[in-house]
Amino acid sequence: MKINFLNSILAVAICSIALVSCESETKGVTTEPTTEVETPEVVSVENTTVYNANLASQDELSLTGLTDDLVAKVLANRPFISMNELDALLTDLVSKEELYKHLFVPFNLNITAEADFKMIPGVGDKMAHEFEEYRPYKSIKQFRKEIGKYVDEAEVTRYESYVFVPVELNTASEEDMKALPGVGDKMAHEFDEYRPYSNMKQFQKEIGKYVDDKELKRLERLVYLEK
């Protein structure tokens, strides 16, 4: 009995020493907080307007669901000469399809690769092929006519927020000029005012009186001169 009692005391002592040792080791360990790297996400918005990434104001860009950091990034890097440039800038974005319902750089219908048309929300293989099938387009009216064979008027109108047909500077109608992204009555008038143009340098010189270099660079991709 005496031996068993001594053994019990010894066992309790050993357990107490072990517990004290564990507590001491635990107190000496500093746990570093885990830092997670978040991938930028687009907030879903009810707004149905498709803003031109080259023309939208800071407030309008915020309405597309972009975070403040991404809004600043877009503003710092524009003008985008093509939608591909904007797409590359937003390479880490999770939900591009959601964003592109509200923000885009219109595609040149006559030179855009068929596969790139599928960046337009709701445009799959078949419609991308139809966009390519009818080019070269001479005017946006031709686009409306041809694509109107496949979708209703409302859908054609929606597509027009994502595409444009470049115009020939010396022959384009005022209506076709005003159909260009960001070209309203005043700029269409200036385009017409200096006709006929002999070369693109003349266009740069004359239109450069009204806009800065960045905007001039953007406008240049919307027009051409027949040789």
Sketch the domain layout of the chain as residue ranges. 40-105, 108-165, 167-224
pLDDT tens sequence across 103-122: 999 999 999 999 999 999 99
Supply the pTM of this predicted model.
0.78
The pLDDT-based confidence of 130 (bands split at 50, 70, 90) is: very high
- pLDDT tens-digit series, residues 35-53: 555 555 666 666 689 999 9
Answer CATH for 167-224 from 1.10.3470, 1.10.150, 1.10.4100, 2.60.200 = 1.10.150
Class of domain 40-105: mainly alpha
pLDDT-above-70 percentage for the chain: 79
Q: What is the DSSP string of the chain?
A: -HHHHHHHHHHHHHHHHHHHHHHHHHHT--PPPPPPPPPP-PPP------EETTT--HHHHHTTT--HHHHHHHHHHPPPSSHHHHHHHTTT-S-HHHHTTTEE--EETTTS-GGGGGGSTT--HHHHHHHHHTPSPSSHHHHHHHHTTTS-HHHHHHHTTTEE--EETTT--HHHHHTSTT--HHHHHHHHHTPSPSSHHHHHHHHTTTS-HHHHHHHHTTEE---
Residue-wise pLDDT for 139-184, tens only, equals 999 999 999 999 999 999 999 999 999 999 999 999 999 999 999 9
Average pLDDT, the chain: 86
Please state the rounded mean pLDDT for residues 14-31.
45
CATH 1.25.40 fits domain 108-165? no
